[in-house]
Amino acid sequence: MSTIQKVYLSGLGAIGSAYASRLYESDPGLVTVIADPERIERYRRQGIVVNGREYPFRFVTPEAAAEPADLILIAVKQHHLAESIRAIRNVVGERTIILSLLNGITSEELIGAEYGPDKLLYSFVVGTDAVREGTRTRFSSMGKIVFGDKLNRTASPKVAAVKELFDRAGVPYQIPEDMLRELWWKFMMNVGVNQTSAVLKAPYGVFQKVGEARELMTMASCEVIRLAQKQGINLSEEDIRDYIGIINGLSPQGKTSMLQDVEAGRKTEVEIFAGTVVSLGRQYGVATPVNEVLLRMIRTLERTYRGIPE
């Protein structure tokens, strides 16, 4: 098994800066951030601060990046993924492993189409309450990176190498036996809570206390269960109860990443949530009325942040 020494990160936001800070603390030379010159200049000027500590990360532009990476972490939002895929080109080598920490079920396919599925492990982050304002991120829980091959009855060399890095650096992780099922489980959770929190402007406390909010969230998630079953992925309403348990444990003031996007007037990830549900529903002939409504509501919110469009 090869040892991971060179980690590159694309996307120094809430998730990226949280995990980069942990890697940096274990070894300041471990992680390099790839970003365009404008971002690098802004990050240097404003400073990257995680939980009150400033981190002098090493930066490199996509053009200057030369050494092949042992591991690349991608932590941008969905609408920046195409840019990020281009930006990592110079550091993708023969033996590079790529982990996409994005939510949703589509990013791995896009990265795999460019660099080959053999470079990828599936992954996502769960259980974090990371919040970013500008270049400052804070969290009380960084959550964990759930990762692996599609099936992980035994650890492949790629999985073993990433596991060794995470053990060495103290990055919390989980390697589930059935990774695709876990990826869909997280997707079902995001389709439920992220989207309804965004339209209701509701922090987690609302879902903890108001039955109607939980019902709405459950209705959106149930549409994912029907689609998962079409793909041979065994999700059930029991899985919704599991994620409600997680939400009940989060801070009542905490907010999903989509609610944070709406409050900041930023583009959301609705296209990888309701957008994907609606398009798979059409493909399989499964009705997805709740996500049809959420898709239109959230697209409308995005178009009207600055008033009625001209």
Ligand X SMILES: NC(=O)C1=CN([C@@H]2O[C@H](COP(=O)(O)OP(=O)(O)OC[C@H]3O[C@@H](n4cnc5c(N)ncnc54)[C@H](OP(=O)(O)O)[C@@H]3O)[C@@H](O)[C@H]2O)C=CC1
Ligand Y SMILES: CC(C)(CO)C(=O)C(=O)O
- Residues forming the site for ligand Y (CB under 6 A): 103, 126, 128, 189-190, 193-194, 256-257
As measured in angstroms, the least distance from the Cβ of 2 to ligand X is: 26
Q: Which of residues 94-113 bind ligand X (CB under 6 A)?
A: 101-103
**Of 191 and 278, which has the nearer Cβ to ligand X?**
191
- 102 contact, one of ligand Y, ligand X, none, CB 5-8 Å limit per kind: ligand X
Q: Are strands 7-10 and 71-74 parallel, antiparallel or unpaired?
A: parallel
As measured in angstroms, the least distance from the Cβ of 229 to ligand X is: 24
**Of 92 and 198, which has the nearer Cβ to ligand Y?**
198
- 159 contact, one of ligand Y, ligand X, none, CB 5-8 Å limit per kind: none
- 193 contact, one of ligand Y, ligand X, none, CB 5-8 Å limit per kind: ligand Y
**Of 120 and 189, which has the nearer Cβ to ligand Y?**
189
Distance CA 124, CA 132 (A): 18
As measured in angstroms, the least distance from the Cβ of 189 to ligand Y is: 6
Q: Which of residues 250-279 bind ligand X (CB under 6 A)?
A: 257, 269
Distance CA 240, CA 281 (A): 19
Q: Which of 7, 15, 99, 198 binds ligand X (CB under 6 A)?
A: 15
- 76 contact, one of ligand Y, ligand X, none, CB 5-8 Å limit per kind: ligand X
Q: Which of 14, 120, 220, 298 binds ligand X (CB under 6 A)?
A: 14
* Size, binding site for ligand X by CB under 6 A: 26
As measured in angstroms, the least distance from the Cβ of 152 to ligand Y is: 22
Contact residues toward ligand X (CB under 6 A) are: 10-16, 35, 39, 75-78, 80, 83-84, 87, 101-103, 125, 128, 130, 132, 257, 269
